Chains A and B, each alone.
Chain A
Amino acid sequence: MKGVRFSGVLTFFVLLFLYVPIAVLVFNSFNASRFGSLWGGFSLKWYSALFHDRNVWVSLTNTVVVALVSTLCSVIIGSIAGFCLYRYKGRVQRLHYGLVSLPLIFPDILMGMSLLLFFIAIGVRLSLLTIILGHITFSISYVAVTIMARLQNFDFSVVEAAQDLGASRFTILTKIYLPLLGPGLAAGAMLALTLSLDDFVITFFTAGPGSSTLPLQIYSMIKFGKPPMINALSTLFLAATFLVALGYQRISSGSKTAG
């Protein structure tokens, strides 16, 4: 079919368009020359400069703390929300659904701005805590819709059967819900984790002095010099996320064959 051939060629060019910038970064991270346009020979000096930058380590620790805490909280709140939106219908749930889905299309800057005003108004000092609160707020919605999508294929008669057979609530939770919804929970957690690691704008608005995260650090590197170090940092960042995603892929495909 002609349509398929044309779209195939275009898909190829789109993939090229998507990958070239990343390839340029990885390539340049090993470039001894300070400027991207010249090849100054292979070098690992930007990596070593990166490892000796104390600010990078501090913001890395902050990033990990923020990502882990906000992922944990948003997975708990978000999956309860997803379950609830799927299970119950009615006016309250329609309102609930509106509240959950609106943040998905809200521009980051608006969310950052509104959280900043809110924290100022109630007199909370900006710190890592305010960043975490912000991250939980935008992650809840993503976790909730992921869980809702997974529940489409969930057979609730299994739960009813268990109830009829006298299973306790705790047994139903640990023996039915958690194993069957495990992949969905993992997908939601992955999404929350990557969103948190990636966020700059909302963090920028809700961060206080001394609570820099890696994206904030990258921003200041881009704005105030040290560009080649960013190449090295982004290559490592890419490698790390790639490994995590690959691991996740393994787990989810493993569970598919098991189930």
Chain B
Amino acid sequence: MRTLTPRRIQETLFTAPSFLWLLVLFLVPTLMVVSMSFRTADPYGGIGDSFSLEGFKDIFSPSFPGILFRTVNLSFQTTLWCLALGLPVAYFIARAEKKHQAHLMLLIIIPFWTNFLIRVYAWKIILHPEGMLKDMLVALRLVSEDTSLLYNQGAVLLVLVYTYLPFAVLPLYAAIEKFDFTLIEASRDLGAGPLRSFFRVFLPGISQGIVSAVMVVFIPALGSYVIPDMVGGTDGEMLGNKIAQRVFVDRNLPRGSALSTLLVLAVVLPVIGGLVVKKIRSNGRAFADVPSIGEHGL
């Protein structure tokens, strides 16, 4: 039974501003992207009135699987590197003395107070064919005179890791800081080796942090546009570059929308998947009432 209690009126009043704002300027526009991809383009760079599958032409072009694979692959590798570097850093900070923790976190965050474009540009200078790094590597005979450090996938990966690393460290730190390290001692006392207690006790214990880190790195990385645009060259093009090219160069909004629809799916499907897993898990827990540690082995 719904009655209009004062509390309910108050709730509605408080919910309305953000709910309506995001409904109109976030949800509706996102749905628009999906619907526009089924429309024709008009010759003036706008959107025509009739229905068409023309927009999906890119997805069926022979070069597309390559770009899609590169986009997913680079985002995946970025996520792995961010976890591999972020975990020890977060661990170190979480195990440092309490008074140093905030300062160490600040040190991680400060570089990100510079503008994002400026950070990417800094890498462009470092990796420049006549830059110091190239000279150094050539002098050490690690690379030959004619290798290019810039405009390839390696450069894109490097700058992606640079950009997303702090976003991985934050949730990992939050999870490790809350982790009860006596559990590790307990598992060792019970005869587990260091590797076993790392994989069976520590990682499951901070799984929430790992999931958040993956979410905030992998999904935004899929939509990268500026990084491959500035350091990638043609060899490092990603899905985001194709979208921007359709919108700003070809002025074909339906084709840009069709490509963006893929990104919408890439964002929404893992979120729904995550919710389903959570639901199943919480149902399972209701039956078994087990402690959360060590039960994530699925």
Chain A interface residues (CB < 8 Å from chain B): 3-4, 6-8, 10-11, 14-15, 17-22, 24-25, 28, 35-37, 76-78, 80-81, 83-84, 87-88, 92-93, 96, 99-100, 102-111, 113-118, 120-121, 133-134, 136-137, 140-141, 144, 194, 197-198, 200-201, 205, 214-215, 218-219, 222, 227, 230, 233-234, 237-238, 241-242, 245
Contacts and interface: CB of A to CB of B under 8 A. Distances in A.
Q: How large is the interface on B (under 10, 10 to 19, 20 to 34, 35 or more residues)?
A: 35 or more
Interface in B6-50: 11, 14-15, 17-19, 21-23, 25-30, 32-33, 36, 46-47
Contact of A108 (B26, B220, B253, B271): B220
B179 interface: no
A138 B11 CA distance: 23
A210 B263 CA distance: 30
Interface stretch (B117-125, B141-149, B279-287): B117-125
B295 interface: no
B219 A21 contact: no
A241 B108 CA distance: 15
Contact of B260 (A6, A93, A113, A215): A113
Contacts of A35: 130
Is chain A's interface secondary structure helix, strand, loop, or mixed overall? helix
A121 B92 CA distance: 51
A15 B243 contact: no
Nearest to B14: A84
Contacts of B247: 113, 116, 205
A224 B178 CA distance: 48
A20 B23 CA distance: 42
B162 A21 contact: yes
B89 A14 contact: yes
Contact of B30 (A93, A110, A198): A110
Residue of B15, B25, B215, B224 with most partner-chain A CB within 10 A: B25
Contacts of B124: 222
6 tightest Cβ-Cβ pairs between the two chains A and B: A107-B223, A81-B18, A21-B122, A114-B29, A118-B29, A7-B92
A216 B217 CA distance: 24
B132 interface: yes
Contacts of A105: 215-216, 219-220, 267, 271
A194 B166 CA distance: 15
Contact of A238 (B26, B114, B121, B131): B114
A190 to B, nearest CB: 11
B132 A37 contact: yes
Contact of B257 (A4, A18, A117): A117
Nearest to B260: A113
Contacts of B111: 18-19, 21-22
A110 B264 contact: yes
B232 interface: no
Contacts of A99: 18-19, 22-23, 26-27
Is chain B's interface secondary structure helix, strand, loop, or mixed overall? helix
B225 A109 contact: yes
B32 A110 contact: no
Nearest to B202: A3
Contacts of B26: 99, 102-103, 111, 114, 137
A201 to B, nearest CB: 6
A100 B18 CA distance: 8
Given A109-B223, A218-B118, A117 B29 contact: yes
A242 B113 contact: yes
A100 B132 CA distance: 45
Contact of B122 (A24, A37, A201): A24
B171 to A, nearest CB: 12
Contacts of A8: 92
Contact of A25 (B25, B33, B125): B125
B107 interface: yes
A103 B22 contact: yes
Nearest to B122: A21
Given A21-B122, A22-B122, A93-B15, A241 B220 contact: no
Contact of A4 (B32, B95, B240, B263): B95
A220 B257 CA distance: 25
B192 interface: no
B91 A7 contact: yes
Contacts of A81: 14-15, 17-19
B256 interface: yes
A113 B243 contact: yes
A117 B29 CA distance: 7
23 contacts: A7-B88, A8-B92, A15-B107, A18-B162, A24-B122, A25-B122, A25-B125, A37-B128, A88-B14, A93-B15, A96-B15, A96-B19, A99-B27, A105-B271, A109-B240, A109-B260, A113-B33, A114-B26, A118-B29, A120-B253, A121-B47, A222-B117, A234-B121
A71 to B, nearest CB: 15
B51 interface: no
Given A17-B162, A121-B47, A205-B247, A215 B115 contact: yes
Contact of B113 (A3, A116, A137, A238): A238
